[in-house]
Amino acid sequence: MATIKPFKAVRPFPEKAQDVAALPYDVYNRKEAAAAARGKLDSFLRVDRPETTLDDRMKMDDPFVYETARKNLDKLFYRKALTQDNKDCLYIYELIMDGRSQVGLVVCTAIDEYLNNTIKKHELTRADKEEDRIKHVNACDANTGPIFLTYRGEDAINVIVDKWRKENAPVYDFVSEDGIIHRAWVIDDDSMINRLVKKFKNVKSLYIADGHHRSASAVKVGLMRREANPNYTGEEEFNYFLSVLFPDEQLYIMDYNRVVKDLNGLSIEEFLNALSEKFEIEDRGSEAVKPQQKGSFGLYLDNKWYLLTVKEGVYDLADPVNSLDVAILQNNVLVPILGIGDIRTDERIDFVGGIRGLKELERRVNDDMTLAFSMYPTSIEELMNIADADLLMPPKSTWFEPKLRSGLFIHKLS
């Protein structure tokens, strides 16, 4: 049973929504974030990545950085960019990319359901990244970035949401710089809110699609505040965190590709010979390889593309984790041949979202890497099955598009 809760969102005035809305903080490195925020005084990136407004020499974990996040959030109120609703509402958020729509419900979800695994996870988190967001949430006294959740679709929920969209005008309707259409509606009718809350009680589980670090941090902040307030009732806002819930059938997972710094001391011939033990190798020359089915991979090396097809018997089809393409590559190439240690932290490997295209893989290899692997996307069903089995996917297994914008909905903790 999933619990959803309406809340008084902090959100932009309609005429400011496009200026405030920003891509998630973690899609940028520091240099990219600074460039994206430059000259945009209303951009929420100045809150989510406050170091973009400070001297480059400032360490990103300096306490002053988090103080700046809070100040930059306050400035958005002073600049008449943000306001707060005066009653608890639910919200609808639609994104349209290349003509394909996905419609989510913006709500608060319970930290207790994260703890009891009603909200299911599929990835490990890193302590340093959690700590960063814990400090950020505490400083801002708010969940500033929504957690992207999914669930096995319920027609009854879709009917209610679609009816509201058809009968009411959106409060936001704009196109972001990357061509994504963003629309939002406010559900302020108590009877409609109660109907949706009741319908979600029929949803057995929610699944984190994107935002494992944000959700883990939000939960830990909630637990810290419970400890500081031993007489808490459970109704306080810090017992909940900001989420956007999308039905699974609407989601689109793109490939999440890999680039590697070197061949681990091997020559090209030695590397290809090692690959041939587990993969059929087809030389494709200059033709970029975008895998079309599970068990196939593109390899870009020495200005040439190869199609790799895993040989029969290399992995167990019945194993939900090790049968993932990202696991096949990790278990048979990245670790044993290329000597990558911890996939999450090894500096010899980097990850490139499929939205950047195969040309980006070629560019990285020609610039600062030696080889690249193009991947076949993980499916949403694979993700949910692994989460249901209380198992974990390898790092960087999924890349969802389009990306939810931060700043359109903010949840205050007190």
Give tens-digit pLDDT for 153-212: 889 999 999 999 999 999 999 999 999 999 999 999 999 999 999 999 999 999 999 999
pLDDT in tens, 5-14: 999 999 999 9
Is 384 contained in some domain? no
- Looking up residue 284, the CATH number of its domain turns out to be 3.30.1760
Are 200 and 100 members of one domain?
A: yes
If pLDDT is split at 50, 70 and 90, which confidence band does 33 have?
Answer: confident
Asked if residue 227 is part of any domain, the answer here is yes
The whole-angstrom separation of Cα 400 and Cα 390 is 21
List, for residues 337-387, the tens digit of each pLDDT value.
Answer: 999 988 888 999 999 999 999 999 999 999 999 999 999 999 999 999 999
Angle made by CA atoms 102, 25, 246, in degrees to the nearest 5: 20
Clarify whether residues 245 and 359 are in a common domain: no
User: Within 10 Å of residue 98's Cβ, how many Cβ atoms?
Assistant: 9
Which pair of tokens denotes residue 229? 């307030």
| Closest C-alpha among 349, 334, 328 to residue 393 | 328
Q: Is residue 389 part of a domain?
A: no
Residue 388 lies in a domain: no
| Domain co-membership, 189 together with 247 | yes
What Å distances lie between residue 264 and 167, 271, 313, 371, CA to CA? 60, 9, 26, 11
Average pLDDT over residues 90-112: 97
Whether 391 maps to a domain, the answer reads no
- The predicted pLDDT at position 395 comes to 85
In a domain, 248, yes or no: yes
CB-CB contact of 353 with 254 (8 Å) = yes
Domain range enclosing 246: 4-252+402-412
Query: Could you give phi then psi for residue 151, rounded to 5 degrees?
Result: -155, 160
User: Is there a single domain that holds both residue 294 and residue 164?
Assistant: no
Q: Are residues 100 and 201 in the same domain?
A: yes
Is the same domain home to 140 and 174? yes
Q: What is the mean pLDDT of the segment spanning 38-65?
A: 91
Residues 217 and 93 in one domain: yes
Whether omega before 402 lies within 30 degrees of 0, making that bond cis, reads yes
Is 248 found in the same domain as 265? no
Tens digit of each residue's pLDDT (9 = 90 or more) over 261-298: 999 999 999 999 999 999 999 999 999 999 999 999 99
Which tokens is 349 given? 């490997």
- Reported as a pLDDT band with limits 50, 70 and 90, residue 318 is confident
Please tell me whether residues 220 and 245 are part of one structural domain.
yes
**Sign (positive or negative) of CA dihedral 349, 25, 245, 124:** positive
Judgement on whether residues 92 and 153 belong to the same structural domain of the protein: yes
pLDDT band at 317, cuts 50/70/90? Answer: confident
Looking at every residue in the chain, the average pLDDT score rounds to 95
Burial (CB count <10 Å: 0-12, 13-18, 19+), residue 228:
exposed
pLDDT of 324 higher than 90 = yes
**Cα–Cα distance for residue pair 82/10, rounded to 1 Å:** 7
Least confident piece of the model among 25-29, 217-221, 354-358, 371-375: 25-29
Q: Is 394 part of any domain?
A: no
| CA–CA gap between residue 404 and residue 24 (Å, rounded) | 7
Number of domains forming the structure of the chain:
2
Assess whether 152 and 200 both reside in one domain.
yes
Q: Does residue 366 share a domain with residue 340? A: yes
